[in-house]
């Protein structure tokens, strides 16, 4: 293994745009090597979700710098209850396979070992990157569930029709913090851990909408719809509500002007995968959830994205 000199330090907020650029460069390198189409990086500032994660878990955020001070590695982990989740681990292509990834991953996992009684270690990653599968499996997190990336777009064509929900529910955009205690209880039931920090973030961020769903007067779930393209996470109190909450969230995305729609769906959730396929979504790729134990109930949950299950 060739050794290239890097120094490692905690991430500063001012690093995050450069981290984002390095992530895009690294992803596109992986996409090219895997025969996939690279994407166009258009961001001009740091990603608000990355800023939020660093703010909540600053001790689990590290960058690796080369001799010129450029960022060539970045990691960020999150601790929520007894769960440690790796949001990001990216090493610049020129510095891969030189031990930098292992070094950053160890620091992020040390943070988990020192802070809290972690019983579940997890992340989601690219199923077609054997290097990623190896590094995490060695640390005790092995592939668990296929996570399908499902998208639909209608460039210049007629906007798709809305999807009819199976169960008639009412929906409310959450704009205050009043409901967050109740959403936290739902998260504990469905995901096994609470994450009020993210609910505060979604209600306060202009690019996200947090939606609460009711069957008559009973709260039965929530979803997050990003103004750009993403739908999820979605949590439902009972499996029979999940596809209806998803349908209403997809419809809401159309209403607020999403021009492309993107959902990360657990492959084992047959009903949700099929209803999205019937509504014009395509399976863009299969990624994978890796974990130290079986986690979250796919029949009641649709994850947010790779960085945030």
Ligand X SMILES: CC(C)(COP(=O)(O)OP(=O)(O)OC[C@H]1O[C@@H](n2cnc3c(N)ncnc32)[C@H](O)[C@@H]1OP(=O)(O)O)[C@@H](O)C(=O)NCCC(=O)NCCS
Residues making contact with ligand X (CB under 6 A)? 26, 30, 89-91, 96-102, 123, 125-126, 129-132, 134-135, 138
Choice between 23 and 179, CB closer to ligand X = 23
Q: Is 59 exposed, middle or buried (0-12, 13-18, 19+ CB in 10 A)?
A: middle
Residues making up the chain, counted from first to last = 309
SS3 14: helix
Residue in the block written with tokens 């809401």: 252
Choice between 135 and 225, CB closer to ligand X = 135
Choice between 199 and 230, CB closer to ligand X = 230
Nearest distance from residue 92's CB to ligand X, in Å?
A: 8
Nearest distance from residue 205's CB to ligand X, in Å?
A: 23
Nearest distance from residue 143's CB to ligand X, in Å?
A: 13
Nearest distance from residue 282's CB to ligand X, in Å?
A: 23
Nearest distance from residue 35's CB to ligand X, in Å?
A: 15
CA distances to 69, 93, 308 from 5, rounded to whole Å, are 11, 15, 31
Tell me the residue number closest to ligand X, measured at CB.
101
Choice between 133 and 246, CB closer to ligand X = 133
Choice between 88 and 241, CB closer to ligand X = 88
Contact 19, 51 (CB under 8 A): no
Nearest distance from residue 224's CB to ligand X, in Å?
A: 21
**Residue-wise DSSP of 168-233:** --EEEE--SSTTHHHHHHHHHHHHSS--HHHHHHHHH-TTEEEEEEEETTEEEEEEEEESSSEEEE
Contact 70, 8 (CB under 8 A): no
Give the contacts of 44 (CB within 8 A, at least 6 positions apart).
none
Choice between 17 and 128, CB closer to ligand X = 128
Nearest distance from residue 32's CB to ligand X, in Å?
A: 12
Separation between Cα atoms, residue 208 and residue 226, nearest integer Å = 4
CA distances to 23, 47, 81, 201, 296 from 207, rounded to whole Å, are 21, 11, 26, 10, 26
Nearest distance from residue 66's CB to ligand X, in Å?
A: 13
Choice between 79 and 183, CB closer to ligand X = 79
Choice between 194 and 290, CB closer to ligand X = 290
Choice between 108 and 186, CB closer to ligand X = 108
Strand blocks (E) in 246-309 = 260-266, 282-291, 301-302
Residue in the block written with tokens 């739902």: 186
**Residue-wise DSSP of 241-253:** HHHHHHHHHHHHH
Contact 128, 288 (CB under 8 A): no
Nearest distance from residue 172's CB to ligand X, in Å?
A: 34
């Amino acid at each position: 293994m060739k050794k290239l000199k890097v120094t490692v330090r905690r991430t500063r907020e001012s690093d995050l745009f450069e981290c984002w650029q390095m992530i895009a460069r690294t992803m596109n390198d992986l996409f090219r090597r895997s025969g996939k189409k690279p994407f166009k990086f258009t961001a001009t500032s740091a990603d608000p979700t990355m800023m939020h994660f660093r703010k909540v878990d600053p001790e689990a955020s590290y960058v690796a710098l080369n001799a010129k001070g450029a960022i060539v590695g970045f990691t960020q982990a999150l601790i929520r209850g007894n769960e440690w989740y790796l949001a990001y681990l990216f090493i610049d292509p020129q510095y891969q396979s030189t031990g930098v990834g292992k070094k950053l991953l160890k620091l992020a996992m040390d943070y988990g070992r020192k802070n809290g009684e972690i019983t579940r270690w997890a992340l989601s990653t690219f199923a077609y990157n054997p290097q990623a599968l190896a590094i995490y499996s060695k640390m005790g997190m092995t592939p668990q569930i296929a996570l399908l990336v499902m998208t639909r777009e209608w460039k210049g064509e007629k906007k798709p029709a809305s999807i009819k929900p199976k169960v008639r529910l009412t929906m409310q955009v959450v704009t205050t913090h009043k409901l967050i205690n109740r959403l936290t209880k739902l998260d504990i039931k469905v995901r096994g851990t609470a994450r009020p920090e993210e609910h505060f973030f979604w209600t306060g961020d202009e690019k996200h909408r947090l939606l609460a769903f009711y069957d008559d007067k009973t709260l039965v779930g929530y979803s997050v719809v990003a103004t750009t393209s993403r739908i999820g996470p979605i949590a439902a109190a009972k499996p029979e509500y999940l596809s209806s909450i998803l349908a209403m969230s997809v419809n809401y995305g159309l209403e607020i002007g999403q021009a492309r729609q993107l959902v990360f769906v657990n492959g084992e959730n047959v009903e949700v995968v099929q209803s999205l396929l019937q509504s014009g979504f395509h399976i863009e790729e299969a990624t994978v959830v890796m974990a130290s134990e079986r986690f979250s109930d796919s029949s009641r949950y649709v994850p947010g994205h790779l960085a945030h299950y």
